[in-house]
Amino acid sequence: MGVSVYTPAEAVEETGFSLDTLRYYEKIGLLERVSRNAAGQRRFSQEDIGWLCTLRCLRETGMPIATMLRFAELVRAGDHTVPDRIKLLEEHDQLVQEQIANLTDRQDYIHHKISYYRSLL
């Protein structure tokens, strides 16, 4: 059976975010208030970890914090916001696709340079 409650250190390990980032995300409302144990120490739920993994994906693909906050608001508002969530994610997906195309172009250029320099040997 998997872990259902995570310490801050375990949450850091599971999500790859720093402890400072987890605190910041909680402070600005990207992460809903994390529960605490009797000693007042944060305890992350499996749901918190899943949400943080979603945030990591969005952040690593270049989504601005403000857009992530809008997405979080939509999620918390309920199922009637699903069409708005789809639209937001489709717009982000388009930006990711443009980044991929740009990187592919840059990589092609690098490959061309490598071939050119190898031809000089």
- Beta-carbon count within 10 A of 108 CB: 10
Q: With respect to residue 83, please indicate whether it lies within any of the assigned structural domains.
A: no
Amino acid at the residue 36 = R
Could you list the residue range(s) of the whole structural domain that residue 55 is in? 1-60
Instruction: Provide the domain count of the chain.
Output: 1
* Residue whose entry in the numeric block shows the structure tokens 């857009």: 67
DSSP conformation class of 36? E
How far is CA 34 from its chain centroid?
Answer: 18
Q: Is residue 121 part of a domain?
A: no
pLDDT at residue 100 above 60?
yes
Query: 4 lies in a domain?
Result: yes
- What is the tens place of the pLDDT at every residue in 3-62? 689 999 999 999 999 999 999 999 999 999 899 999 989 999 999 999 999 999 999 999
Does residue 112 lie within any of the structural domains? Answer: no
pLDDT tens digits for range 35-52:
999 998 999 999 999 999
Residue 78 counted as domain residue: no
In a domain, residue 106? The reply is: no
Q: What is the CATH number of the domain that holds 49?
A: 1.10.1660.10
Q: How many residues does the chain have?
A: 121
